[in-house]
Chain A
């Protein structure tokens, strides 16, 4: 248990559906991240938020829409996804962006787009 929870753990959605992934951290951190982990590919950083402000959008398609209402919660809103978007989506949090500190990862949401 890392202090970072993600729901749902598994999600199957059609290409026309709209769904949201949720991440919550109980560590008092101020930075939160979304990563995409596809099979046989390196982990890809998608979005970074620091004190609720987005500081990084790593050229992510607009069908992925993040939301960070406060430092403890992070959402990823999904709409009109493609089958190649099927992956494990990991959320992480850390204390600060600049100094090196370990990022605490949640267990991930396994997304399947049909």
Chain B
């Protein structure tokens, strides 16, 4: 079945760049998403990319998509302590159905 995999933890120093990786299996996915979940809060959509794109940049966030390898990454430039959260990758086909990864807990060290 379809699966989305992420590493569980990432630790970076404040000011460095963070790169969170995700691999997925469903080649028919047309949208790939990144969500952020802060402690005690629900999921917040950060950005998404269409499957026919290679890259999308939005301020400090850069999403890279390698469709051949089914690999998605989220780069956060100049990582701040407020970026500490769990980041979820998700894939979807354009309907309400998404498949989420297990989440990567990002810890930013001051």
Contacts and interface: CB of A to CB of B under 8 A. Distances in A.
Q: Size range of the interface on B?
A: 20 to 34
Given A100-B94, A107-B41, 15 more contacts: A2-B42, A31-B96, A41-B102, A42-B4, A43-B88, A43-B98, A90-B42, A90-B43, A91-B42, A92-B43, A94-B96, A98-B96, A99-B94, A106-B42, A107-B42
B45 A103 contact: yes
Nearest to A98: B95
A39 B101 CA distance: 12
B84 to A, nearest CB: 17
B106 to A, nearest CB: 16
B65 to A, nearest CB: 16
Contacts of B96: 31, 33, 48, 94, 97-98, 103
Q: Size range of the interface on A?
A: 20 to 34
Contacts of A107: 40-42
B31 A100 contact: yes
B100 A43 contact: yes
A66 interface: no
19 contacts: A2-B42, A2-B44, A4-B42, A6-B42, A9-B40, A40-B8, A40-B102, A42-B101, A43-B43, A43-B88, A43-B90, A91-B42, A98-B95, A98-B96, A100-B94, A103-B96, A106-B42, A107-B40, A108-B42
